[in-house]
Structure 1
């Protein structure tokens, strides 16, 4: 019930802004008359592969929407960036060409508060993150997304925490001296790990295995699903539980597409969203446990002796320098949430 009230509040804000002209997106509404009983066809894009839980959850959401609208709304899903990258699809939603997308911190290009979806050590654990998402700060982030991006979050999905892999256990920042590691092309990641004492370097993920195998780098950081899918268990011995990034991602819909629905259809979409979120949460728990067990079976050791407080303290100066004043104030407020 708490999650449904949260979802309803965000949706109400979306409709209010649209009615008042607060949405700066240039959109053309839905394909079909939402009040006439004619069919409505929506397109959804995302970056994950078909076997990923995001796609499975998206399929469940589409099935539920179709069922609850008695076939009036059909959703075609395009995984693997078939509709383009997140920024491209967001622009298409704003232009009225696409309706739905799975997106996260990329939305900071319009809504600066969305950057907090991927800041190192903003969240202590999954429970802390959930309390933030479903509390006042989460609503602030979502309100800015609705107003400035032109999309409404329907539901969210938790991501697995990012952990550092290596061939020797790493417990504190002192162990990072001379440690060459790969990071994605995310400036705050580069700055944070450099501040912690490592030698980070940007590298495409498809080059990481070879880089580790040849000793170009000594380690990298990623969630367990990517550690497994990249075969890194063959060239890395330890998963050090730094858990430096807890994050989530939204299923978003264009404000105009949502506004164009009748009250009955909108309620059906909201109900489908609530059920899809619960479905995705169950899949997430199963996936994390499964990958953890698989990596152990494949020879990796999970090192839980990591001093996360020491890493958090070491990275904070870089985090403060990378964020705007408003973003850092939000970061500090997040840390205060119980």
Structure 2
């Protein structure tokens, strides 16, 4: 006598389960790989993007985020996007391997402030950069995140290029960086990052340059007394989607992607500003003195070296940026 009721119960449960699974099953799952760790604002913004896109598509599009190079290194991820095995990544001037205009993302002294940088990234020049990346790399930038400006640390205040004369300093193995610091009057040399702390400690070098977050995480406050606010490299990086993935989306879903990316961009900027304040406060509490510099003097002396190192395609734009 109880079998019909049991049957109804089973059928009801089965139907409810099917409805629930159809309500939560994504039509499309996208893979977003990047190099940062879980504490980094880029990762948090990537998670925010995933949440926003899922909400805007009623769960039809999900994004799985893979931090810590767990899907591969930056160039591997770009190649994966071109092959269709990766959908999204965070990347920047590395794209100049395909699109020369991507070099504009990190040109020393090209951007006088974060507002100026945003204006370029969101304006006509930024549109040209994005168009070339789409055409040449088959990757579409959908948002940009700021990177902390690079500052010079030392054991005495450096307010103008005159204070740099002969100062031995570490720079990354980038010819543009070496030439710029030579032009400014320093004695720069490439060195592996892992060797910098010990070299500062034993006096092999007297200075190095990096964003505040790296100055903090590397404990340079233990071997350097001053942060000179040269802010010589301001740069941004893109959240990007593979053009092949973009092409599979309906116009409505493309709109949802751009809306989610815009929210993620604003969210990341808030985290970025908080981290700059927190890093400065931490370094000051550890005894470092922050020094305002004559930015115009640094820029003027660096200009020729910068222009000599950029390719002919972007040189007119760099000249325009320097003249603004």
TM-score, normalization by structure 2: 0.89
Which SS does the other structure have where 2:158 is aligned?
coil
Deviation at 1:317, TM superposition (A): 1.7
CA deviation string 1:11-33 (max 9, x = no partner): xxxxxxxxxxxxxxxxxxxxxxx
What corresponds to 1:310 in structure 2? 297
What corresponds to 1:61 in structure 2? 49
What corresponds to 2:97 in structure 1? 109
CA deviation string 1:247-286 (max 9, x = no partner): 1110000011011012222222111111111111111111
Deviation at 1:185, TM superposition (A): 2.0
After the TM superposition, which residues 129-144 of structure 1 pair with which residues of structure 2 at under 5 Å, given as runs?
129-144=117-132
What corresponds to 2:268 in structure 1? 280
Distance 2:321 2:185 in 1: 25
The correspondence for 1:87, drawn from 75, 96, 99, is 75
Which SS does the other structure have where 2:221 is aligned?
helix
Distance 1:299 1:79 in 2: 33
**Contact 2:307-2:319 within 8 A present in 1 as well:** no
What corresponds to 1:214 in structure 2? 202
Distance 1:285 1:227 in 2: 16
Unmatched 5+ stretches in structure 2:
1-24
Deviation at 1:336, TM superposition (A): 4.4
Mean CA deviation greater in 81-90 or 277-286: 81-90
**Contact 1:173-1:311 within 8 A present in 2 as well:** yes
Distance 1:140 1:92 in 2: 24
**Contact 2:146-2:272 within 8 A present in 1 as well:** yes
CA deviation string 1:39-97 (max 9, x = no partner): 21211121211111111111111111122222222222222222222222111111111
**Contact 1:137-1:334 within 8 A present in 2 as well:** no
Distance 2:49 2:91 in 1: 15
Distance 1:113 1:41, change over 3 A: same
Aligned residues: 300
Distance 1:115 1:223 in 2: 19
Which SS does the other structure have where 2:313 is aligned?
helix
Residue 175 of structure 2 corresponds to residue 187 of structure 1: yes
Greater gyration radius: 2
**Contact 1:160-1:224 within 8 A present in 2 as well:** yes
What corresponds to 1:5 in structure 2? none
Mean CA deviation greater in 54-63 or 263-272: 263-272
Mean CA deviation greater in 261-270 or 165-174: 261-270
**Contact 2:26-2:59 within 8 A present in 1 as well:** no
TM-score, normalization by structure 1: 0.86
Deviation at 1:292, TM superposition (A): 1.0
